[in-house]
Amino acid sequence: MTPLLPGIDSPSDLKGLSDEQLQQVADETRAYIIDVIGEIGGHFGANLGTCEIAVALHSLLESPRDKVLWDVGHQAYPHKVLTGRREELPTIRKYKGLAPFCSIPESEHDIMGAGHASTSISYALGLKEAMRNGIGEDGKVVAVIGDGALTGGVAYEAMHAAGGLQTPMVILLNDNGMSISPNVGALSSYFQRARLKPGLFHAREEVEDRLTRLPLGLGKRIERLGPELKSAIKAYWAPGLLFEELDLAYMGVIDGHDVGAMRRALTEAFAADRPVVVHVHTVKGRGFAPAEEGGLAGMEKWHA
């Protein structure tokens, strides 16, 4: 099999590749990060989980006109590899080398350089609202945020505002069940329940449609009983209602290591004229046996 990664010097080089070829690029990116970061050190596990995310996004978007904002930025090594910095990856965290997070002076493809959790949705919201008001070149805006960072209040403030404004943007929830250590608390439990119901898309719309089509006149009766009963029944069956109650559309749970599946979901999300949460499930340390086979202890050890 002919290697493809050496020919990827910018996101435009991903255009025209098939889903199978893009999956190969993601696999080669992961292998390259294991080789380089395994020798020099750096953020390891998180980046092995985001290779397909970076490939799927950059194969569909026109960066830097379209904006991808990586929350914290520690999981953006695949993004750096695909945006012309592949040969410089061995310099990461070294004097005059690549920054360990996204860096605006480093690349036109790095849109924010916060280095702090939970801020990407606010940043993305501001960018897209500026575009809607004629400031800057219009384009798509995506915030990539982990389930750990999504426990931060700043993220919920931004989602509340995005739902109220109906800002057309995408929030890609990278759900690996981990931050520095395993996530705990009510939100972690919520995402765990959602992961147990993969393949449910557009939760509210699908469940509502099924309810109204129940036989023996039940669907019509439910319709007459009003929105309260329908909401209660839908909340029992459908994940994602946490977001939909904030007026955010929801798609998920999607395999975050399947480039084709993510491209299909993202294409639909980008076409929506409203904020959309695309919920993907990834494995921290993907492709590195000590992390994957060691369970939570392995992922925690190789979290960086």
Q: What is the pLDDT of residues 226-283, one digit of tens each?
A: 555 545 555 554 557 788 889 999 998 899 999 999 999 999 999 999 999 999 999 9
**Average pLDDT score over residue span 151-175:** 96
User: Strand ranges (DSSP E) for the chain?
Assistant: 67-70, 141-146, 170-175, 249-255, 276-281
Q: What is the pLDDT of residue 209?
A: 63
Q: What is the pLDDT of residue 44?
A: 82
Identify whether the C-beta of residue 5 lies closer than 8 Å to the C-beta of residue 28: yes
Lowest mean pLDDT among 122-126, 145-149, 285-289: 285-289
Q: Quote the DSSP letter at residue 83.
A: I
Q: pLDDT: is 252 or 159 the higher one?
A: 159
- Cα angle at 143 between 142 and 146, to 5 degrees? 140
| pLDDT over 60 at 190, yes or no | no
Dump pLDDT digits (tens) for 21-63: 999 999 999 999 999 998 888 878 889 999 999 999 999 999 9
pLDDT classification of 195: cutoffs 50, 70, 90: very low
Name the one residue in this structure whose structure tokens are 């889903």. Answer: 19
Fold classified for 5-200+239-301: Rossmann fold (3.40.50)
| pLDDT over 90 at 162, yes or no | yes
| CB burial readout 238-256, b (16+ within 10 A) else e | bbbbbbbebebbbbbbbbb
Dump pLDDT digits (tens) for 97-106: 999 999 999 9
Read off the pTM.
0.80
| pLDDT over 90 at 196, yes or no | no
Identify whether the C-beta of residue 298 lies closer than 8 Å to the C-beta of residue 292: yes
